[in-house]
Amino acid sequence: MENIFAKIAQDTTKFDLGDEEGWRKLYEPLYAEAPDNVGVVKDESYGPAERNRLDVYFPLEEKPGGYPVVLYVHGGGFFSGDKGWSEKCWANVGFFFAQRGFVTVLANHQLVPHVVYPGGADDMQLAREWIFENIAKEKYGRGIPEKVVLLGHSSGGAHIAMNLYAAGDPKRKTNVPLSPPVAGVIYLSVPFWFDRRKPVRQRVIRHYWGSDDEEVWGPLSALGLFRNLPEDSPLLDSEQLPVYIGSVKWEVKETADATVAFFNAYRERSKPPGTLPVFHVQDRHNHVSNVLSIGTADSAQAERLLDFMQSCVAKVDQRIQRTLSVDH
């Protein structure tokens, strides 16, 4: 592990196209063999598109009442990435959280150039609806559809945010924002906003939003949608939707800038006024290594996420108890 940390420290914030493959190859030997106490169902269809597919990892031990759920959505700059990046990635995420009491769903989504705004966000809505309608089945480990945490890395987190904050775009057909229910959301190294000066980003923005003019795409980015949410949105209340914003010591500048901008936007609009989201910078890691570390001996990031996920589930239980006490 120390050799990886040394390499991360040597490269600092460098993260060029293709570097992710090098990091994956460094981490893959560190994962244990597939555990025998986790069930896996792969390539379930959650929507009409070819990439509307998901995998489910679940504890095989039965539990009265079932298990909470986490939906993990991979990154890839809007144009790449896969729930099955390799045989072991992102199965490391599925196995880790399933072994710790969460039914874990890994979802693909449509990629540029085969999708335009808000297609990625609509995929997230379809995945959430599939979970709500299906995850309680024995086949999927009896997940609890009212206790679902959303976990998005990089562009996957941007799609989650653009789904949750859809009401910030008056042209979008918006559903009730927390229907299906969301117990909490985790954003890891998410580009809530973009640096359009980067050539690869320019191409993606032009295709996804139809223009790289920030006056066009800016209000429709995750940051722009959040800023334009209605004042009475429950998404502004951290008791109704707990928010975890995660970064890393050596973050890509564009993503670090976007993370700080979103943190400040949240702080400006949160309720009660001034409420801060959970914010954490994971030491010793870069843009992708913290997620690759899940399921290795370096459990710092994984355990911190698990702690937040468990706190979200506990808040749902508390709300249920308050409702029951009022009814009686």
Q: What is the pLDDT of residues 242-283, one digit of tens each?
A: 999 999 999 999 999 999 999 999 999 999 999 999 999 999
**Which band of pLDDT confidence, cut at 50, 70 and 90, is reported for residue 327?**
low
Among 144, 148, 223, CA closest to 179: 148
Q: Which residues contact 169 (CB under 8 A, 6 or more apart)?
A: 118, 219, 220, 225, 228
> Residue 133 sits in a domain of what CATH number?
3.40.50.1820
**Which band of pLDDT confidence, cut at 50, 70 and 90, is reported for residue 17?**
confident
Over residues 82-121, the pLDDT tens digits come to 999 999 999 999 999 999 999 999 999 999 999 999 999 9
Over residues 299-310, the pLDDT tens digits come to 999 999 999 999
**Which band of pLDDT confidence, cut at 50, 70 and 90, is reported for residue 323?**
confident
As a whole number of angstroms, the distance between CA 11 and CA 89 comes to: 22
Cα 40 from chain centre: 20
Determine the pLDDT at residue 229: 98
The structure's pTM equals: 0.98
Q: Contact 186/305 with Cβ under 8 angstroms?
A: yes
Q: How many domains does the chain have?
A: 1
Determine the pLDDT at residue 324: 82
Lowest mean pLDDT among 181-190, 195-204, 286-295: 195-204
Dihedral sign from CA coordinates of 162, 310, 282, 292 = negative
Domain that holds residue 315: 1-327
